[in-house]
Amino acid sequence: MARMKFLCDAERCIACNGCVTACKQENDVPWGVNRRRVVTMNVGVPGERSISVACMHCSDAPCMAVCPVDCFYHTEEGVVLHDKDLCIGCGYCFYACPFGAPQFPQSGAFGVRGKMDKCTFCAGGPEPDGSEAEFKKYGRNRLAEGKLPACAEMCSTKALLGGDGDTIADIYRDRVLRRGKGAEVWGWATAYKLPPAGAKPPAANGGTKS
Amino acid sequence: MREPIVRAVTAIFAALLIIGSGPGFAQSPAVNPAIAEAAKAEQKQQVEQPLNNQPVWSEVRSGVPQWTSTLGRETNVLIQPQGETWRALRDGWVSVWAGWALVVMLVAIGVFYFSRGTLQLHEPLTGRNLRRFTAWERAIHWASAISFSILAISGLVIVFGKNLLLPLIGYTLFSWLAILAKNLHNFVGPLFIVCVVLLFFTFVRDNLWRMHDFTWIRHFGGLFSARDVPSGRFNAGEKLWFWGGLLVCGVVVGASGLILDFPNFNQTRGTMQIANIVHLSIASLFMLAGLGHIYMGTIGMAGAYDAMRTGYVDEAWAKEHHEYWYNDIKAGKIPEALEGMPDASPDLKQHPA
């Protein structure tokens, strides 16, 4: 069984926000909630990078760990989904998530928030696949239709990859080798920060520890 | 065949673009020294380690606000790592320690109750009553007691229900219970803060620390000996509960609770994570001390509950448990204690100690 993953190639993302728009359109996301957003670093200067971020569908998901009513679950494909019928709107998932994925339609006085909403990897919710109830609560169930998430499908530069982790890892590794840049994403320098002083930069071809 | 043409066209376009944007390039640096600095660092990095993207990934992980077009609170933060710490503390240290501390406290109280039973008076009732609490004092105390209990139980459901109740009653039923608990907690909380403030000003005068309170503390209030240590209207145990429980715990739990209860003031996740840990830790201490107070005020000691319900105590009770207070009344220093004094209160008649 595939293990679903998102990967955003920061060398390719041009911050067009096409993924954000695709997501809102495809899933009929409520006002004030953005299941996906694009964040730009070093904006306007050399070294500018943009990354599209949403729920990362963690294996050890913090939202799932802290939810007081245990409304989260992993699908067989590793997608983190939640049951809005059980959600009490306490906001704990929003405290715990490093990516800011869980959001609420309101943040009112006395902790009135409504039901949490987040990226579903276009996989809907616990209701029957493709049902009206599922669409109203969670948006489109594209995985059940044999499609990948709308954001990744829509990405004009193919910076945002979504799908089976092994497949998108292969695509990205291939890109890294071809461009001879960003190899450290796969290896030593990423895990252990700095290469020793005076060391040669990672080799462009095949020198990666993937 | 076509490649040279494509290249030529691209080069012409690029040249036009560069000419067109020339003045823009000239202006852009030096607008903001921090940006110029970042640009310089980036250029240096490109020369020294041309293939190493590591600074970018450090920045991604740093939690520093960046730029985004998405409106909303903290949407410009890519990764907020503090939530992991919050999770580890909440699901680990805080709930484990608080949970077992409450269990140990309940067991200790149970052992004490079954070994000593309800503490009875040593002298027979006199049938003459003293007014220990006014109607206002009882009203505000009951308002606090009821809201405290609601908050404690609903809070426990939210923290421990997932492990203790959910397996018993199932997902749907527990979700309803948790929604009830959450809303009770969020709406009763501010009410409790009002109660704490009123309670403080109502009882602060008789809770000021006196020298004889040290003696009371040294002897644990006579809890493990035959007789009570003399005390004023409130003994040192009650005073500790007043200052440590009501004031310190009440203020800390109330303030942290308000931060969590009103997320509409744009406070960040980081603030709420800290507030939540403080709230859980101090609320646990509050409940631990509260268990002792509730035990002594109900089944732990004969006459205490009647005092809180009716407002009256028997003279014998006053003399045994609060001797200095009793002496002051006898000396005529507290005339209000003799006001509206009925004969023996019906409860004390029915359940002679």
Closest to B87 (Cβ–Cβ): which among A65, A113, A189? Answer: A65
Residues of A in contact with B86 (CB under 8 A): 95-96
- What is the pLDDT, as a whole number, of residue B59? 84
Could you say which DSSP state residue B224 is in? T
Pairwise CB contact (< 8 Å): B58 & A193: yes
Provide CB contacts within 8 A for B90, sequence distance 6+: A66, B276, B277, B280
Pairwise CB contact (< 8 Å): A112 & B186: yes
Residues of B in contact with A60 (CB under 8 A): none
Residues of B in contact with A45 (CB under 8 A): 35, 38-39, 42
* Amino acid identity for residue B306 in this structure: D
The answer to whether residue A101 scores a pLDDT higher than 60 is yes
What whole-number distance in Å separates Cα of residue B142 and Cα of residue B150?
12
Helix (H) or strand (E) run with residue A4 in it: strand A4-8
Which CATH number, 3.30.70.20, 1.10.357.10, 3.40.50.10440, 3.40.640.10, labels domain A4-166?
Answer: 3.30.70.20
Q: Does B174 touch chain A (CB under 8 A)?
A: yes
What are the structural domains, with CATH classification, of chain B? 85-95+117-132+204-350 (1.20.950.20)
What whole-number distance in Å separates Cα of residue A189 and Cα of residue B50?
13
What whole-number distance in Å separates Cα of residue B243 and Cα of residue B238?
9
Q: What is the pLDDT along chain B (353 residues), one digit of tens a residue?
A: 456 666 666 666 555 555 544 444 444 444 677 777 877 877 787 777 766 677 777 888 888 899 999 988 899 999 999 999 999 999 999 999 999 999 999 999 999 999 988 988 888 998 888 999 999 999 999 999 999 999 999 999 999 999 999 999 999 999 999 999 999 999 999 999 999 999 999 999 999 999 889 989 888 887 777 778 899 999 999 999 999 999 999 999 999 999 999 999 989 999 999 999 999 999 999 999 999 999 999 999 998 999 999 999 999 999 999 999 999 998 888 888 887 666 554 454 444 44
Contacting B residues, span 95-134, partner chain A, CB-CB under 8 Å = none
What whole-number distance in Å separates Cα of residue B151 and Cα of residue B153?
6
Pairwise CB contact (< 8 Å): B70 & A190: no
Pairwise CB contact (< 8 Å): A47 & B45: yes
Residues of B in contact with A34 (CB under 8 A): 70, 72, 75
Pairwise CB contact (< 8 Å): B175 & A69: yes
Q: Residue A95 — very low, low, confident or very high, per pLDDT cuts 50/70/90? A: very high
* Amino acid identity for residue A167 in this structure: T
Q: Does B72 touch chain A (CB under 8 A)?
A: yes
Q: Does B268 touch chain A (CB under 8 A)?
A: no
Best to test chain A binding among B175, B193, B268 (most A CBs inside 10 Å): B175
Residues of A in contact with B42 (CB under 8 A): 42, 45-47
Residues of A in contact with B76 (CB under 8 A): 39
Pairwise CB contact (< 8 Å): B182 & A62: no
Q: Three-state secondary structure along B13-66?
A: HHHHHHHHCHHHHHHCCCCCHHHHHHHHHHHHHHHHCCCCCHHHHHHHHHCCCC
A vs B: CB pairs below 8 A: 177
Residues of B in contact with A103 (CB under 8 A): 72
Q: Residue A210 — very low, low, confident or very high, per pLDDT cuts 50/70/90? A: very low
Residues of A in contact with B74 (CB under 8 A): 100
Residue pair A118/A104 in contact (Cβ under 8 Å)? The answer is no
Pairwise CB contact (< 8 Å): B263 & A45: no
Pairwise CB contact (< 8 Å): A98 & B79: yes
Q: Give the global pTM.
A: 0.84
Q: Does B27 touch chain A (CB under 8 A)?
A: no
Pairwise CB contact (< 8 Å): B54 & A112: no
- What is the pLDDT, as a whole number, of residue B352? 45
Closest to A45 (Cβ–Cβ): which among B38, B73, B158? Answer: B38
Task: Give the closest-approach CA distance of A31 to chain B in angstroms.
Answer: 11
Q: Does B225 touch chain A (CB under 8 A)?
A: no
The two structure tokens encoding residue B136: 């206002």
What whole-number distance in Å separates Cα of residue A145 and Cα of residue A167?
19
Task: Give the closest-approach CA distance of A103 to chain B in angstroms.
Answer: 10
What whole-number distance in Å separates Cα of residue A4 and Cα of residue B243?
55
Pairwise CB contact (< 8 Å): B75 & A181: no
Residue pair B324/B116 in contact (Cβ under 8 Å)? The answer is no
Beta bridge partners of A40: A50, B67
Q: Does B339 touch chain A (CB under 8 A)?
A: no
- What is the pLDDT, as a whole number, of residue B201? 96
Pairwise CB contact (< 8 Å): A100 & B51: no
- What is the pLDDT, as a whole number, of residue A206? 45
Provide CB contacts within 8 A for A13, sequence distance 6+: A38, A49, A50, A51, A52, A157, A159, A160
Task: Give the closest-approach CA distance of B14 to chain A in angstroms.
Answer: 18
Q: Does B281 touch chain A (CB under 8 A)?
A: no
- What is the pLDDT, as a whole number, of residue B325? 93
Count how many Cα atoms sit within 13 Å of the Cα of residue B81 in the half-sphere of its side chain: 7
Query: Closest chain B residue to A39 measured between Cα atoms?
Result: B68
Closest to A39 (Cβ–Cβ): which among B42, B68, B263? Answer: B68
Q: What is the ipTM of this complex?
A: 0.84
